[in-house]
Amino acid sequence: MTDPKMVFVMVDGLGDASLPQYNRQTTLQAANTPTMDAMAETGINGSMDPVEPGLACGSDTAHLSIFGYDPRTYYRGRGAFESMGAGLEMRPGDIAFKSNFATMDKTTGIVTSRRADRNFEHLGPTLCEYLTGLKLPSFPQYQVDVKYATEHRCGVRVRGANLTDAISGTDPLKDNLPLLKAEPLNDSFDAQLTSKVVNELSLEIQKALEDHPINVERRKQGLPPANVVLLRGCGVCVEAPTFQEKYNLKAFMIAPTCIIAGLGMSIKIDIVDAPGGTGDYHTDLQSKADTLITTLLDQDKQYQFGFLHIKAVDDAGHDKNAPLKVEFLEKIDKMLADIIKRLAVAQQQGLGLFSLCLTGDHSTPVLTGDHSCEPVPFTICKPILVDQKLTSSKSNSNFEFIDNVCKFSEIDCIKGVLGRFPGSQLMSPIILNYMKINP
């Protein structure tokens, strides 16, 4: 019997709020997305709170919850995920930070821009290599490693004795606020020590970057210097059951965004690279689709679960760029059409019984430029084509549920049979049960 297989497409920052320029529609409603709408019409739908109602969560806690790992139990800071995804090995006792190259007014200590430059791919690796091995005068026994991630981001790992994640970070989280000092979150010796190590690390990084040739040249060009690294989300390794142990599914992940890749590594999901697939606006969606299908159909690998993460929509929300968010939603829709056609052909060839789901990890409204607490739309369907069009199989007697949703949007999907549900229920029971339904 052919094994059931699942394709999970995660659109980071999918949800939005209504906008006057789109006649009070959201960017998702305004976008031309016939494939997403067909998925909703032929599948079953709902509205998902990634963690819980009312919580504006980060991508890390959202993904943990959606994969079925309670963040309150398994979340130990996003820094470890970012650093692992960037290529820094994490050992027990290491601490790591999800970090930004940022711009600070040295005379006032004000962080004028938390992102020195989104287009930093040609400079970030050089600065990371320069900072790796940085010596801390008061703590020479500690090892510092820095690895470039994407855009303005990097992972920073500190290795040494008596380190703990029970400290705050240095990131003020908004522009035009003072750089913070790390503070211990409890009275332990380790927390007191670690905060001192991190504060000295922050200062030494500033000294190292201030007159680096890259920053000298950026000032000459009238560009903001990358003269500070914001250290946030201090984290350590997650100890959790693997994804395969939890669900009896062999899984892979295409996620150029380091924090998501690192999270996948933490639960032993295989990370697969898509050539040209990036975690930013320059990503090659066709390459991601090609890699997804090729990997899922590889008979030697025998994967049953393929996860595809797309970041650019979230970036457009953070940048308050509604037209760009619409543009990427429409590009993703075309990518989904290609994926569905290829899955349908593979199914006809007896290469698997496929299901496909689509959702987001949180809302990122362009009005605010930040994550918000609204639920995100969710749909799950079978790739069944008639005359090259996705067709409904709801009349099939194997399907227990029918809903009348015909459009994939924040407003429409909540009318589906799944109603409103927490992310913790997504893998089990929703996805696992749906995979067993034969088309």
> What's the pLDDT score for residue 369?
93
Half-sphere exposure of 384 (CA within 13 A, CB side): 15
Local structure of 145: helix, strand or coil: strand
Q: Is the peptide bond before 429 cis (omega within 30 degrees of 0)?
A: yes
Question: What six digits make up the tokens of 270?
Answer: 């295989």
In DSSP notation, 189-233 reads: HHHHHHHHHHHHHHHHHHHHHHT-HHHHHHHHTTPPP--EEEEEE
Supply the pLDDT for residue 395: 47
Q: What is the pLDDT of residue 289?
A: 97
Measured between alpha carbons, how far apart are the two ends of the chain, in Å? 14
Alpha carbons 200 and 205: distance in angstroms, whole number? 9
Give the closest residue to 236 by CA, choosing from 150, 145, 157: 157
Secondary structure letter of residue 253 according to DSSP: E
pLDDT score for 393: 53
Residue 74's pLDDT is: 83
Contacts of residue 415, defined as CB under 8 A and 6 or more positions apart, other chains included, come to 45, 403, 404, 405
Cβ atoms within 10 A of the Cβ of 412, count? Answer: 22
Let me know: does 404 contact 393? Beta carbons within 8 Å: no
Stated length of the chain: 439
Residue ranges in the chain whose pLDDT is less than 70: 1, 386-387, 391-402, 439
Query: What local confidence, expressed as pLDDT, does residue 401 receive?
Result: 54
Q: pTM of the predicted model, to two decimals?
A: 0.80
Residue range 162-175, pLDDT digits in tens: 999 999 999 999 99
Q: CB of 397 within 8 A of CB of 361?
A: no
pLDDT at 399: 47
- Tell me, what's the pLDDT at 278? 86
Q: Name the amino acid, one letter, at 376.
A: V
CA atoms within 13 A on the CB side of 174: 5
| pLDDT, tens digit, 9 for 90 and up, residues 268-312 | 999 999 999 988 898 999 999 999 999 999 999 999 999 999 999
Please give the CATH topology (third level) of the domain spanning 4-75+241-435: Alkaline Phosphatase, subunit A (3.40.720)
Domain limits, CATH 3.40.720.10, in the chain: 4-75+241-435
- In 3D, which of 204, 208, 259, 219 has the Cα closest to residue 116? 219
What is the rounded CA–CA span in Å between residue 413 and residue 436?
Answer: 22
